[in-house]
Amino acid sequence: MAGQRILYLNADGLTPFVVERGEIHAAPPFSTGEQGLTAFDTYLRNCPPDTPLTLLVDLPDESHQLESVPFVRGRDRQPMIARRQNQLFGETPYRTYLSLGRAKEGRRDEQILFAALTRPGVIQPWLERIQHSSCILARMVSVGFLSRTLITPHRASPSPLLLAHVTPAGLRVSCFDKGQLRFTRLTPLKPGACPPSGKVLQTEVQRSFDYLSAQRILPRKGKTTAHVLALPDAPAEPITGENTEHGLAFEILDPQPLAQILRLKSRLTSADSLPLLLQALATTPHLPQFAPAEALAEHRLRRAAQAIGALGAATLLISLGITTANLLDARGQRHLAETRLLQVRATEKHLKAVTDAMPATPLPLEQLSLTLATAKALISTNAGPEPALRQLAAALAPLPGFKLRHIEWTVSAPTERLAFQALRVHFSLPSGAEHARQRVAQTRALLTALGTMSTADITIEKQPAEMNDTQPLRITEEESGAETPQLTVRIQFPPDHP
């Protein structure tokens, strides 16, 4: 089964889940003890090789400490953080930290939230079996940090707030300040007490509120809102609402809108928020993770291999692209050389025809003078039609799909010892009444492209009948054997000064 594999771990054992396109599929749970660990080994052997696994930890033994440390960058930062973690949490390897930014006053120390799972004996047996299997541990996340995703964006507030929700491990109450986790506490529930009654919810939230107020994490004055995530009819007893004496107000949140935001397709049938957490974990890539570096070594090597493979594929594609561009450029250069050779031969043939047509008898002095002036003007200008053809090619280069019938190059009689060059260009257009719009569009595109030749004088000698403003675009069917509609444009270039 494709999808993300998430292992949910609490004090009762471990339950595998597969999250795929908003659907959550659960496998049989594994209890604590040798029997459950043996069944978990069998589960890992049945997984495909190199399967990434995410471990979601929901234990009451989670400690959080907010510390102000000097703002350090570079290679000294990680040793300083590691020393502070060792001082706070001892030998547990399952720890992480989250930077909350720098203080605005004083020497502007950095505020860092240190967190750790302080009961490694519950996690270690499961983690060892993952490391000895063909699967790969991708990350280890706690429900405390993941609970931030259960606050909808429109309910997020810069002031501190409380969130209470139920998981299979019990009732969890978390405090968030400026969108970041500051405190979390898990209270195990008695068997059969899920969902808890409104009185139990209110008592546990009140206890957390009193502790946080004493620690000055929550303000003693003002109002703090406690969001309780539960179905509207979940609590057996109603919550009394606002506690005006201590400034604590309760608000029941319906999880159904949150499920739609997270794109969870599985229907919520109880107050258990685990489906929401699993879907949020599958769709949230960056979360503080508690796994030690050696446990993530294989995952990091796999990511490095994937990055190297992607880089190699990108390099190959770039090389193929450069090679293809070079081949196309070489083909274009060869085609241009062949075209120029044909133009030169056509020019030579035309000049020979003009020479052969000249009469052998002496001409009048006026005609000889005009011929001599024309020859001098041609000598002083660029020889041949190449400059004019280059301008025409540059103007028509961006247009695909047009048909060029033929080009006529002429040199006019000199005026004030200057000769004018002109091109008469004939285009073939689609025929038939069903192609009327296509003819109009192609004609306009060709005229627009030719209009970019700012130094040339463009004259339309022939165009389709649809281009006439006095005639509607829809025309009658052409007769059989009718000539293909043509577009003829005369382009006159300014004279080249000697």
Q: Is 98 helix (H, G, I), strand (E, B) or coil?
A: strand
Strand ranges (E), 154-232: 161-167, 170-177, 180-187, 224-229
In a domain, 190, yes or no: yes
In a domain, 221, yes or no: yes
Read off the amino acid at residue 45.
R
129 plus 24 within the same structural domain: yes
Cα separation, 236 vs 271, whole angstroms: 12
Question: pLDDT tens-digit profile of 466-483?
Answer: 877 655 544 444 444 445
Q: Is the CA virtual torsion 101, 103, 108, 114 positive or negative?
A: negative
b/e string for 242-253 if b means 16 or more Cβ within 10 A?
A: ebeeebbebebb
Do the beta carbons of residue 150 and residue 229 sit within 8 Å?
yes
Question: pLDDT tens-digit profile of 277-307?
Answer: 999 999 988 888 898 888 786 655 666 666 7
249 plus 267 within the same structural domain: yes
For 95, the token pair is: 């720890």
In a domain, 72, yes or no: no
Half-sphere exposure of 63 (CA within 13 A, CB side): 15
Do the beta carbons of residue 144 and residue 174 sit within 8 Å?
yes
Last residue of one domain, picked from the residues 291, 320, 342: 291
In a domain, 360, yes or no: no
In a domain, 426, yes or no: yes
402 plus 498 within the same structural domain: yes
For 69, the token pair is: 């440390």
Give the chain's length: 498
| Contacts of residue 465, Cβ cutoff 8 Å, sequence gap at least 6 | 471, 475, 485
Q: For the chain, which ranges sit under pLDDT 70?
A: 1-2, 153-157, 192-194, 231-246, 297-306, 359-363, 374, 376-383, 412-419, 469-485, 496-498
Q: CA Rg, the chain, in Å?
A: 41
Phi, psi of 71, deg, nearest 5: -75, 115
Please give, one letter per residue, the 3-state secondary structure of 247-294: CEEEEEECHHHHHHHCCCCCCCCCCECHHHHHHHHHHCCCCCCCCCHH
Do the beta carbons of residue 283 and residue 277 sit within 8 Å?
no
pTM (2 decimals)? 0.59
387 plus 238 within the same structural domain: no
Cα separation, 425 vs 407, whole angstroms: 5
Do the beta carbons of residue 213 and residue 220 sit within 8 Å?
yes
In a domain, 34, yes or no: yes
Last residue of one domain, picked from the residues 238, 263, 291: 291
187 plus 38 within the same structural domain: yes
For 384, the token pair is: 């041949």
325 plus 263 within the same structural domain: no
Alpha helix (H) ranges present in 262-400? 274-283, 297-357, 365-380, 386-396
Q: Is it true that the peptide bond before 195 is cis, omega within 30 degrees of 0?
A: yes
In a domain, 354, yes or no: no
232 plus 322 within the same structural domain: no
Read off the amino acid at residue 123.
I
Q: What angle do CA 153, 68, 91 make, to 5 degrees?
A: 95
424 plus 313 within the same structural domain: no
In a domain, 372, yes or no: no
321 to 12, 232, 269, 310, 326: CA distances (angstroms): 57, 60, 55, 16, 9
What's residue 302's pLDDT? Answer: 63
Last residue of one domain, picked from the residues 291, 314, 346: 291
388 plus 462 within the same structural domain: yes
DSSP state of 243: B
User: Number of structural domains, the chain?
Assistant: 3
> Which helix H or strand E contains 427, and what residues bound it?
strand 421-428
Q: Specify the CATH number for the domain of residue 399.
A: 3.30.70
What's residue 242's pLDDT? Answer: 55
Do the beta carbons of residue 129 and residue 44 sit within 8 Å?
yes
176 to 225, 350, 496: CA distances (angstroms): 11, 88, 79
172 plus 245 within the same structural domain: yes
Cα separation, 227 vs 210, whole angstroms: 16
What's residue 476's pLDDT? Answer: 42
| Contacts of residue 295, Cβ cutoff 8 Å, sequence gap at least 6 | 127, 131, 137, 140
306 plus 286 within the same structural domain: no
| Contacts of residue 41, Cβ cutoff 8 Å, sequence gap at least 6 | 129, 133
Cα separation, 402 vs 448, whole angstroms: 13
- Nearest in space to 146 (alpha carbons), one of 252, 351, 284: 284
390 plus 269 within the same structural domain: no
Do the beta carbons of residue 255 and residue 277 sit within 8 Å?
no
| Contacts of residue 288, Cβ cutoff 8 Å, sequence gap at least 6 | 96, 97, 98, 115, 141, 142, 145
Range of the domain at 155: 4-61+119-291
What's residue 37's pLDDT? Answer: 93
What's residue 415's pLDDT? Answer: 58
